[in-house]
Structure 1
Amino acid sequence: MLDALYRIDEFRHLFTERELVALRFAEIMTTGARDVDESLWDELQAHFDDGEIVEIATVIGLFNFFNRFADALQILPASDSEVKE
Protein backbone atom coordinates (compact mmCIF):
# COMPACT_ATOMS: atom_id res chain seq x y z
CA MET A 1 0.00 0.00 0.00
CA LEU A 2 2.89 2.37 0.71
CA ASP A 3 4.03 1.99 -2.90
CA ALA A 4 0.53 3.04 -3.98
CA LEU A 5 0.89 6.28 -2.02
CA TYR A 6 4.07 7.15 -3.89
CA ARG A 7 2.34 6.53 -7.23
CA ILE A 8 -1.16 7.67 -6.34
CA ASP A 9 -2.27 8.44 -9.90
CA GLU A 10 -1.49 4.89 -10.96
CA PHE A 11 -3.25 3.34 -7.96
CA ARG A 12 -6.27 5.65 -7.50
CA HIS A 13 -8.57 2.66 -7.80
CA LEU A 14 -7.27 1.33 -4.46
CA PHE A 15 -8.60 4.33 -2.53
CA THR A 16 -12.08 5.57 -1.74
CA GLU A 17 -13.05 9.09 -2.80
CA ARG A 18 -12.94 10.05 0.87
CA GLU A 19 -9.36 8.78 1.21
CA LEU A 20 -8.30 10.57 -1.99
CA VAL A 21 -9.65 13.88 -0.66
CA ALA A 22 -7.74 13.38 2.61
CA LEU A 23 -4.56 12.51 0.70
CA ARG A 24 -4.93 15.59 -1.49
CA PHE A 25 -5.39 17.70 1.63
CA ALA A 26 -2.25 16.14 3.13
CA GLU A 27 -0.22 16.86 0.01
CA ILE A 28 -1.34 20.47 -0.22
CA MET A 29 -0.96 21.09 3.50
CA THR A 30 2.56 19.67 3.29
CA THR A 31 3.73 21.50 0.18
CA GLY A 32 1.93 24.82 0.60
CA ALA A 33 -0.72 25.09 3.31
CA ARG A 34 -1.90 28.45 2.00
CA ASP A 35 -2.92 26.68 -1.21
CA VAL A 36 -5.89 24.98 0.49
CA ASP A 37 -8.55 26.63 -1.63
CA GLU A 38 -12.34 26.81 -1.49
CA SER A 39 -12.70 23.87 -3.87
CA LEU A 40 -10.66 21.58 -1.62
CA TRP A 41 -12.46 22.89 1.45
CA ASP A 42 -15.81 22.04 -0.19
CA GLU A 43 -14.55 18.52 -0.96
CA LEU A 44 -13.37 18.06 2.61
CA GLN A 45 -16.72 19.20 3.99
CA ALA A 46 -18.54 16.83 1.63
CA HIS A 47 -16.70 13.84 3.11
CA PHE A 48 -15.82 14.84 6.69
CA ASP A 49 -17.40 16.76 9.54
CA ASP A 50 -15.55 19.69 11.12
CA GLY A 51 -14.11 17.55 13.92
CA GLU A 52 -12.72 15.03 11.45
CA ILE A 53 -11.14 17.80 9.38
CA VAL A 54 -9.45 19.17 12.50
CA GLU A 55 -8.18 15.67 13.38
CA ILE A 56 -6.84 15.10 9.87
CA ALA A 57 -5.13 18.51 9.84
CA THR A 58 -3.63 17.81 13.27
CA VAL A 59 -2.15 14.49 12.18
CA ILE A 60 -0.79 16.02 8.97
CA GLY A 61 0.71 18.92 10.93
CA LEU A 62 2.30 16.62 13.50
CA PHE A 63 3.90 14.41 10.88
CA ASN A 64 5.19 17.48 9.04
CA PHE A 65 6.67 18.71 12.31
CA PHE A 66 8.29 15.35 13.09
CA ASN A 67 9.78 15.15 9.59
CA ARG A 68 11.18 18.69 9.71
CA PHE A 69 12.50 18.14 13.23
CA ALA A 70 14.28 14.93 12.19
CA ASP A 71 15.61 16.55 9.02
CA ALA A 72 16.98 19.57 10.91
CA LEU A 73 18.73 17.32 13.41
CA GLN A 74 19.85 14.96 10.63
CA ILE A 75 18.13 12.00 12.27
CA LEU A 76 17.97 9.15 9.79
CA PRO A 77 15.09 6.68 9.79
CA ALA A 78 15.79 3.35 11.45
CA SER A 79 16.57 0.46 9.14
CA ASP A 80 14.25 -2.56 9.06
CA SER A 81 16.76 -4.59 11.06
CA GLU A 82 16.96 -1.89 13.76
CA VAL A 83 13.17 -1.79 14.05
CA LYS A 84 12.98 -5.57 14.54
CA GLU A 85 15.47 -5.49 17.42
Structure 2
Amino acid sequence: MPHVTPLDRAELPQFAELFERYDRIRGFLPNSILTMGRRPAIAEAFMRLNQAILYEGTVPEALKMMVAYMASSAAGCRYCQAHMANLSSVYGVADDKIRAIWEFETSDLFSDAEKAALRLALHAGSVPNTAAAAHFDALEAHFTDAEIVEIVASIALFGYLNRWNDTMATEIEGVPQNLAERAIAPAGWQAGKHGAQD
Protein backbone atom coordinates (compact mmCIF):
# COMPACT_ATOMS: atom_id res chain seq x y z
CA MET A 1 0.00 0.00 0.00
CA PRO A 2 1.42 3.41 -0.92
CA HIS A 3 2.33 5.65 2.00
CA VAL A 4 0.63 8.65 0.33
CA THR A 5 -2.46 8.09 -1.81
CA PRO A 6 -2.17 9.39 -5.39
CA LEU A 7 -4.68 12.00 -6.48
CA ASP A 8 -7.21 11.29 -9.20
CA ARG A 9 -6.10 12.85 -12.48
CA ALA A 10 -9.34 14.85 -12.56
CA GLU A 11 -8.03 16.76 -9.53
CA LEU A 12 -5.17 18.13 -11.65
CA PRO A 13 -6.95 19.62 -14.70
CA GLN A 14 -4.09 22.07 -15.31
CA PHE A 15 -1.93 19.15 -16.44
CA ALA A 16 -4.36 17.64 -18.95
CA GLU A 17 -2.02 18.29 -21.91
CA LEU A 18 1.04 16.88 -20.13
CA PHE A 19 -0.97 13.86 -18.97
CA GLU A 20 -2.09 13.16 -22.54
CA ARG A 21 1.56 12.64 -23.52
CA TYR A 22 1.92 9.93 -20.88
CA ASP A 23 -1.28 8.31 -22.13
CA ARG A 24 -0.07 8.42 -25.72
CA ILE A 25 3.42 7.01 -25.11
CA ARG A 26 2.86 4.67 -22.16
CA GLY A 27 -0.85 3.97 -22.30
CA PHE A 28 -1.36 5.08 -18.67
CA LEU A 29 -0.52 7.85 -16.21
CA PRO A 30 2.04 6.87 -13.53
CA ASN A 31 0.91 6.89 -9.91
CA SER A 32 4.18 8.60 -9.04
CA ILE A 33 3.06 11.71 -10.95
CA LEU A 34 -0.34 11.66 -9.25
CA THR A 35 1.35 11.53 -5.84
CA MET A 36 3.70 14.41 -6.75
CA GLY A 37 0.55 16.24 -7.81
CA ARG A 38 -0.20 16.97 -4.17
CA ARG A 39 2.43 19.67 -4.72
CA PRO A 40 1.65 20.73 -8.31
CA ALA A 41 4.86 22.72 -8.76
CA ILE A 42 6.88 19.56 -8.04
CA ALA A 43 4.79 17.48 -10.46
CA GLU A 44 5.11 20.08 -13.22
CA ALA A 45 8.86 20.54 -12.75
CA PHE A 46 9.36 16.79 -12.79
CA MET A 47 7.27 16.23 -15.93
CA ARG A 48 9.14 18.95 -17.83
CA LEU A 49 12.54 17.62 -16.70
CA ASN A 50 11.49 14.09 -17.65
CA GLN A 51 10.51 15.36 -21.11
CA ALA A 52 13.80 17.23 -21.62
CA ILE A 53 15.94 14.29 -20.54
CA LEU A 54 14.24 11.21 -21.99
CA TYR A 55 12.56 12.58 -25.12
CA GLU A 56 14.84 15.33 -26.42
CA GLY A 57 18.43 15.28 -27.67
CA THR A 58 20.30 12.89 -29.96
CA VAL A 59 20.81 9.76 -27.86
CA PRO A 60 18.25 7.19 -29.06
CA GLU A 61 15.25 6.93 -26.73
CA ALA A 62 15.62 3.15 -26.57
CA LEU A 63 19.13 3.50 -25.16
CA LYS A 64 18.07 6.12 -22.60
CA MET A 65 15.29 3.80 -21.45
CA MET A 66 17.75 0.92 -21.07
CA VAL A 67 20.19 3.18 -19.20
CA ALA A 68 17.39 4.21 -16.81
CA TYR A 69 16.38 0.55 -16.45
CA MET A 70 19.95 -0.43 -15.55
CA ALA A 71 20.34 2.45 -13.08
CA SER A 72 17.03 1.48 -11.45
CA SER A 73 18.11 -2.16 -11.32
CA ALA A 74 21.39 -1.19 -9.65
CA ALA A 75 19.46 0.94 -7.14
CA GLY A 76 16.92 -1.82 -6.54
CA CYS A 77 13.70 0.11 -7.29
CA ARG A 78 11.28 -2.50 -8.62
CA TYR A 79 8.68 0.09 -9.60
CA CYS A 80 11.18 1.93 -11.81
CA GLN A 81 12.59 -1.32 -13.17
CA ALA A 82 9.13 -2.29 -14.41
CA HIS A 83 8.48 1.18 -15.84
CA MET A 84 11.76 1.35 -17.71
CA ALA A 85 11.56 -2.23 -18.95
CA ASN A 86 8.13 -1.24 -20.29
CA LEU A 87 9.45 1.93 -21.95
CA SER A 88 12.39 0.00 -23.40
CA SER A 89 9.80 -2.29 -25.00
CA VAL A 90 7.72 0.69 -26.20
CA TYR A 91 10.84 1.96 -27.98
CA GLY A 92 11.51 -1.36 -29.69
CA VAL A 93 13.83 -3.27 -27.36
CA ALA A 94 13.04 -7.00 -27.51
CA ASP A 95 12.09 -8.91 -24.37
CA ASP A 96 15.19 -11.11 -24.52
CA LYS A 97 17.42 -8.04 -24.55
CA ILE A 98 15.51 -6.44 -21.67
CA ARG A 99 15.81 -9.69 -19.71
CA ALA A 100 19.56 -9.88 -20.43
CA ILE A 101 20.38 -6.44 -18.99
CA TRP A 102 22.59 -7.91 -16.24
CA GLU A 103 24.56 -9.89 -18.83
CA PHE A 104 25.22 -6.87 -21.06
CA GLU A 105 29.01 -7.19 -20.74
CA THR A 106 29.06 -10.67 -22.31
CA SER A 107 25.87 -10.65 -24.40
CA ASP A 108 26.04 -10.14 -28.15
CA LEU A 109 22.60 -8.49 -27.94
CA PHE A 110 24.29 -5.21 -26.96
CA SER A 111 26.50 -2.99 -29.11
CA ASP A 112 29.77 -1.57 -27.80
CA ALA A 113 28.11 1.84 -27.46
CA GLU A 114 25.22 0.35 -25.47
CA LYS A 115 27.66 -1.55 -23.26
CA ALA A 116 29.57 1.64 -22.47
CA ALA A 117 26.37 3.46 -21.51
CA LEU A 118 25.01 0.56 -19.46
CA ARG A 119 28.35 0.15 -17.68
CA LEU A 120 28.19 3.76 -16.53
CA ALA A 121 24.54 3.33 -15.49
CA LEU A 122 25.42 0.27 -13.41
CA HIS A 123 28.25 2.02 -11.59
CA ALA A 124 26.52 5.41 -11.23
CA GLY A 125 23.24 3.83 -10.11
CA SER A 126 24.93 1.86 -7.34
CA VAL A 127 25.32 3.07 -3.78
CA PRO A 128 28.00 4.13 -3.23
CA ASN A 129 28.46 5.51 -6.71
CA THR A 130 31.46 3.85 -8.38
CA ALA A 131 31.51 5.78 -11.68
CA ALA A 132 35.10 6.47 -12.73
CA ALA A 133 37.10 8.19 -15.45
CA ALA A 134 37.46 4.89 -17.34
CA HIS A 135 33.70 4.76 -17.83
CA PHE A 136 33.76 8.18 -19.47
CA ASP A 137 36.76 7.21 -21.61
CA ALA A 138 34.70 4.29 -22.95
CA LEU A 139 31.72 6.57 -23.64
CA GLU A 140 33.86 9.07 -25.58
CA ALA A 141 34.51 6.46 -28.25
CA HIS A 142 30.80 6.47 -29.12
CA PHE A 143 29.17 9.68 -27.88
CA THR A 144 29.69 13.45 -27.98
CA ASP A 145 30.00 15.41 -24.75
CA ALA A 146 26.41 16.60 -25.17
CA GLU A 147 25.23 13.00 -25.55
CA ILE A 148 27.21 11.97 -22.46
CA VAL A 149 25.33 14.69 -20.58
CA GLU A 150 22.04 13.12 -21.80
CA ILE A 151 23.15 9.69 -20.57
CA VAL A 152 24.20 11.00 -17.17
CA ALA A 153 20.96 13.01 -16.95
CA SER A 154 18.98 9.81 -17.58
CA ILE A 155 20.81 8.11 -14.71
CA ALA A 156 20.39 11.11 -12.40
CA LEU A 157 16.68 11.48 -13.17
CA PHE A 158 16.20 7.96 -11.91
CA GLY A 159 18.25 8.68 -8.82
CA TYR A 160 15.30 10.92 -7.92
CA LEU A 161 12.61 8.50 -9.09
CA ASN A 162 14.18 5.46 -7.44
CA ARG A 163 14.22 7.27 -4.10
CA TRP A 164 10.72 8.67 -4.62
CA ASN A 165 9.02 5.42 -5.56
CA ASP A 166 10.82 3.16 -3.12
CA THR A 167 10.19 5.60 -0.27
CA MET A 168 6.53 6.15 -1.18
CA ALA A 169 5.93 2.43 -1.96
CA THR A 170 4.21 3.63 -5.14
CA GLU A 171 1.74 1.04 -6.42
CA ILE A 172 2.65 -0.27 -9.85
CA GLU A 173 0.13 0.13 -12.65
CA GLY A 174 -1.15 -2.72 -14.81
CA VAL A 175 0.74 -1.93 -18.03
CA PRO A 176 4.29 -1.97 -16.60
CA GLN A 177 3.44 -4.84 -14.26
CA ASN A 178 2.26 -6.99 -17.18
CA LEU A 179 5.43 -6.22 -19.16
CA ALA A 180 7.63 -6.92 -16.13
CA GLU A 181 5.92 -10.24 -15.48
CA ARG A 182 6.47 -11.21 -19.10
CA ALA A 183 9.98 -9.88 -19.70
CA ILE A 184 11.89 -9.59 -16.43
CA ALA A 185 10.15 -11.80 -13.87
CA PRO A 186 11.97 -14.80 -15.41
CA ALA A 187 15.21 -13.03 -14.42
CA GLY A 188 14.02 -12.56 -10.84
CA TRP A 189 11.88 -9.39 -10.81
CA GLN A 190 8.99 -9.22 -8.33
CA ALA A 191 6.68 -6.31 -7.58
CA GLY A 192 7.39 -6.50 -3.84
CA LYS A 193 5.95 -3.53 -1.92
CA HIS A 194 4.82 -1.96 -5.21
CA GLY A 195 2.27 -4.69 -5.89
CA ALA A 196 -1.46 -4.10 -5.58
CA GLN A 197 -2.65 -4.65 -2.03
CA ASP A 198 -6.01 -6.32 -1.43
What is the TM-score with the length of structure 2 in the denominator? 0.37
Return the offset for 1:60.
1.1
- Aligned to 2:171, what secondary structure does the other structure show? coil
Find 1:56's aligned residue among 151, 155, 173.
151
Cα distance in 1 for residues equivalent to 2:140 and 2:175: 38
Q: Percent identity?
A: 31
Structure 2: gaps spanning 5 or more residues: 1-96, 179-198
Q: Is the 8 A contact 2:105 2:115 kept in 1?
A: no
2:138 alignment partner in structure 1? 43
Larger Rg computed on CA atoms: 2
Structure 1: gaps spanning 5 or more residues: none
Return the offset for 1:79.
3.0
Find 2:111's aligned residue among 2, 10, 16.
16
- Aligned to 1:75, what secondary structure does the other structure show? coil
Shift in CA distance, 44/20, structure 1 to aligned 2, threshold 3 Å: same
Deviations 1:39-61 (A, max 9, x none): 11211111111000000110111
Shift in CA distance, 39/81, structure 1 to aligned 2, threshold 3 Å: closer
Aligned CA RMSD, in angstroms, stands at: 2.2
Cα distance in 1 for residues equivalent to 2:169 and 2:142: 37
Name the structure, 1 or 2, with higher relative contact order (CA <8 Å, separation 6+): 2
More helix by percentage:
1
Shift in CA distance, 62/48, structure 1 to aligned 2, threshold 3 Å: same
2:100 alignment partner in structure 1? 4
Aligned residues: 81
